[in-house]
Structure 1
């Protein structure tokens, strides 16, 4: 998957980690037959925003008046897989809450956003939420072990 990383936040973004992590996510999702080879050749845009612009977008598209960790947007462009909008400030706070490093929280939410772009949804009902989070947690744990080996 081709990555286009746009950092409009005040926070540094670990581009090397993102690239390596996304390569692993794509590989694992292809192995599990969740991601088609054609999707893996598309471009994924990652946009990092500070809290206020992230809050504005969350309100505009979801009616939620707070900055959130990740928002996913499908694309009409045939060469694009979609776009993930992320807020590093929220990710840093959540990393502390979840007792994870910032990179691991970022990786978890990148995976979360990709699953949304693939059609998974945790806000529709409990069954869908369980399916999405079970898959997300299994892939995340496998990638953590692989990358720390």
Structure 2
């Protein structure tokens, strides 16, 4: 089991529907990746200035990004995922799909990073195929 702890910074709101979706995503990732045991993951929704600060501090990139993952090396805590709701909204419009779909994608993407996948080190297709398989199995498709 993977238990998401969902947090938001001041000024950010997400719906119960999004919280429920994140829980389903976590359980689907556990199933697809055959994860054994029980783990927690923090998923924190932030704005662009917040994620820009993190991106600058930890990656040396002075700009906002959509999602950042920070793995933790503890037995029951997988790590933290920061999702910029502002950037997610912009990308949903740009890619012509719903905000729900974009948040779902960013959540899966962040979880896969916490599990050790890296689209910069491995062929990009490996991570993309896994992302689409998980999203499709939950009925979340592009468009």
| TM-score tier after normalising by the smaller chain length | 0.7 to 0.9
What is the RMSD computed on CA atoms of the aligned residues? 1.9
Of Structure 1 and Structure 2, the greater strand share is in 2
Residue in 1 that maps onto 2:135: 140
Residue in 1 that maps onto 2:77: 80
How far, CA to CA, are the matches of 1:56 and 1:145 in structure 2? Answer: 31
What stretches of structure 1 move > 3 A for 4+ residues in a row?
none
Of Structure 1 and Structure 2, the greater helix share is in 1
How far, CA to CA, are the matches of 1:7 and 1:44 in structure 2? Answer: 14
How far the C-alpha of 1:19 sits from its partner, in A, is 3.5
Residue in 2 that maps onto 1:36: 35
Are 1:50 and 1:89, in contact at CA under 8 Å, matched by a contact in 2? yes
Deviations along 1:107-129, whole A, 9 cap, x unmatched?
1110110011111111125x2x1
> Is the partner of 1:116 in helix, strand or coil?
helix
Residue in 1 that maps onto 2:14: 13
Deviations along 1:64-118, whole A, 9 cap, x unmatched?
1111111000113332111001110000000101111111110111011001111
How far the C-alpha of 1:23 sits from its partner, in A, is 3.4
> Is the partner of 1:144 in helix, strand or coil?
coil
1:97 aligns with 2:94: yes
How far, CA to CA, are the matches of 1:51 and 1:145 in structure 2? Answer: 25
1:110 aligns with 2:111: no
Are 1:26 and 1:35, in contact at CA under 8 Å, matched by a contact in 2? no
How far, CA to CA, are the matches of 2:42 and 2:27 in structure 1? Answer: 18
How far, CA to CA, are the matches of 1:94 and 1:145 in structure 2? Answer: 16
Residue in 2 that maps onto 1:26: 26
Length, aligned pairs only: 140
Any unmatched runs of 5+ in structure 2? none
* TM-score using structure 2 length: 0.87
* TM-score using structure 1 length: 0.84
